[in-house]
Amino acid sequence: MHMSEEVRRAKQAVSRSMFYTIGLNGILAYGIIIVILYTMGSLDDALNSSFPIIEICQGATGSIKAATAMVCGLLVISLSVNLASIA
């Protein structure tokens, strides 16, 4: 059973929605990269850290609790993406 069976003109609607989703995600990812580059702090600190994403989030927020919340959000998103890929 396909997920697109209940959509009118599924061939056009599904392919169009996939195209727009890829484009929108590319634009949003570019924005996230720009924000991270401007707020990450010292590049040497991030490179010398055992977990650079935690160091970058901590440098951006200035708070260990906020950095922990951000990294937990990233872990939840990563888990969701992996489960969706398996499904």
DSSP characters over 25-65: HHHHHHHHHHHHHHHS--HHHHHHSSSHHHHHHHHHHS-HH
What global pTM score does this model have? 0.59
Q: Identify the band that residue 3 occupies on the pLDDT scale cut at 50, 70 and 90.
A: low
Residue 33 has pLDDT above 80, yes or no: yes
pLDDT digits (tens, 9 = 90+) for 40-77: 778 888 889 888 888 888 888 888 999 999 999 999 99
